[in-house]
Amino acid sequence: MSISTSVPSLDSILVAHQQLKQQRPLVQCLTNTVSVNFMANVLLSSGASPAMVDNPEEAAEFAQYSQGIVVNLGTPTSALVEAMRLAISKAKEIGKPWVLDPIAAGALSWRGQLAADFLKHNPTVVRGNASEIIGLAGLGQNSKGFDSSNDPADAVDAALSLLDQTQVVSASGEVDHIVAKTLDNAQEKRWVAKIKGGSEFFPLVTASGCSLGALVAAYAGITDPFNAVVSAHAHFAVAGRKAHLTTEAPGDFQREFINQLYLVNADDFKKHLEFSIEELKAA
Q: Name the residue ranges covered by the structural domains of the chain.
A: 10-280
- What is residue 77's predicted lDDT score, i.e. its pLDDT? 95
**Angle subtended at Cα 170 by Cα 168 and Cα 172, rounded to the nearest 5 degrees:** 170
Q: Tell how many helices (H) and how many strands (E) occur in the chain.
A: 11, 9
Q: 101: helix, coil or strand?
A: strand
- What is residue 4's predicted lDDT score, i.e. its pLDDT? 76
With a CB cutoff of 8 Å and minimum separation 6, the contacts of 233 are: 170, 172, 176, 178, 195, 212, 216
Confidence of residue 185 (pLDDT cuts 50, 70, 90): confident
pLDDT in tens, 43-99: 999 999 999 999 999 999 999 999 999 999 999 999 999 999 999 999 999 999 999
Confidence of residue 162 (pLDDT cuts 50, 70, 90): very high
Provide Rg for the chain, Cα atoms. 17
How are strands ordered across the β-sheet holding 187-196? 49-51, 26-30, 68-72, 98-101, 125-129, 168-172, 175-184, 187-196, 274-280
In terms of pTM, does the model score above 0.85? Answer: yes
How far is the C-alpha of 264 from the C-alpha of 96, rounded, in Å? 28
Between the two ends of the chain, the Cα-to-Cα distance in Å is: 29
**Angle subtended at Cα 240 by Cα 239 and Cα 244, rounded to the nearest 5 degrees:** 120
- What is residue 153's predicted lDDT score, i.e. its pLDDT? 86
Q: 92: helix, coil or strand?
A: helix
- The mean pLDDT of 195-206, rounded to a whole number, is 90
Backbone angles phi, psi at 271, to 5 degrees: -85, -40
Confidence of residue 283 (pLDDT cuts 50, 70, 90): low
- What is residue 104's predicted lDDT score, i.e. its pLDDT? 86
- The mean pLDDT of 13-38, rounded to a whole number, is 97
pLDDT in tens, 95-145: 999 999 999 887 788 888 999 999 999 999 999 999 899 999 984 444 444
CATH architecture of the domain with range 10-280: 3-Layer(aba) Sandwich (3.40)
